[in-house]
Amino acid sequence: MAVTGVLRPGFIQIRVLDMAEALVHYRDRLGLHEVSTGADGRVYLKGFDEFDRHSVVLREADEAGMDVMGFKVLDEATLIDFTRKLDTANVAVDHVDAGEQPGLGRRVGFTIPSGHRIELYAQMELSDNGPETFNPNVWPAEPKGMAATRFDHALLYGPRIAEVTDLFCDVLGFRLAEKVDLGPGGLAVWLTCSNKAHDIAFVENPEPGRFHHAAFFLETVNAVLHAGDIMAYHDIPIDIGPTRHGITRGYTIYFFDPSGNRNEVFAGGYSHYPDNPTREWTPDQLGKGIFYYERELNEAFLSVYT
C-alpha cells in the first residue's frame, strides 16, 4: 500500500522520577540504545531497527506520565497541508522551532480533546547506528536486554474519545481499525496511519491527559517470552502476560518502569489495509478482546495509569 500523510509514530516523551533508574530500565533491560543527553537533562534513546536519531525521550520530573507523542509526516509540504487542515477544523496549533530536540526539525503541536499533546514533524536526522543499508546485517550491533526494535504505539486515556477519533480520521487521515462501544458516551478505539493493526489507541476516561502505556515492538513471540524471563530475573513488576490480544491479535506482556509508567512488549498483530472494515467488539466481550486467553480484564489494567 502507498504510505503518505502521517507515516508513523515518531517519538514519545515520558516523564520519569529518577533518571538513573529509568536508564537502567529503558537502556539495559528494554534494550534501547542511549543516543545522547541534552543540556536540560533529557535523555534520548532509540530501538535498534529505527533509522531516525531517536524515538524515546526521558524527562526527569516530579510526576510520571507522558508529555507529548510525535508523529512523522511525509515531507514539509505535507506538514504545511496538515497545519492548514487543523486550522480549518478550528484546532489551535503552536509551533516548536527546529532543534528544540537535537536533530529534530520544526514541529506543529496541538492539544486533542482527550487532553493529550500531539506533534507533527517532517524532518529528523538519521541515527549514526541505525539499520545498515549496504550488504546489511540483521542488526547493526548485537541487541541487548529485551531487544526492542522500535517504539511502536501508545494507549492514552481521556475524555471525548469520539471527538478524538473524528480528528484523527477526518483531519489526520488515520483509519479506525477496531473499536469497542463502552455504553453511553464511552468508546475505546485503535487507530492506524499505516498497515499496522494500530499506531495509537484511546480509551474513554474522565481524567484528561492520562498515559496508559508505551509499547515496544519485538521481532517474534519467542522474543516476548525471553522478555518475560528478563522481567522475572530482574524483578520488574509485571501487570499481565505473556498473553495475546484478541484486538490487534498481538502477543504481549505489560510491565512497569521504576516510575510507575506502564510499558508493553508486543509482537505480531495483523496487517491493516485502507479497504478493511472496522472490527467491532461488544462490552461483554471486552475481556476476550484485550486478553484473549484469560478472557477477562485484571483490575490493574483498567485502573492504573500515569
153, 157, 178, 204: which is the annotated catalytic residue? 153
Active site residue 153: yes
119, 213, 251, 272: which is the annotated catalytic residue? 213
33, 54, 245, 272: which is the annotated catalytic residue? 245
119, 178, 264, 272: which is the annotated catalytic residue? 264
**Amino acid sitting at position 116:** H
Active site residue 245: yes
25, 198, 212, 272: which is the annotated catalytic residue? 198
CB 26 within 8 A of CB 58: yes
Active site residue 234: no
**Amino acid sitting at position 40:** D
26, 121, 251, 254: which is the annotated catalytic residue? 254
SS3 20: helix
* Measured distance CA(95)–CA(109) in Å, rounded: 6
Active site residue 272: no
Of the candidates 205, 209, 197, 256, which has an alpha carbon nearest to the alpha carbon of residue 30?
256
Task: Show the CA angle centred on residue 170, arms to residues 168 and 172, nearest 5°.
Answer: 45
SS3 174: coil
List all residues 6 or more positions away from 99 whose beta carbon is below 8 Å from its beta carbon: none
Active site residue 254: yes
What is the set of active-site residues? Answer: 153, 198, 213, 245, 254, 264
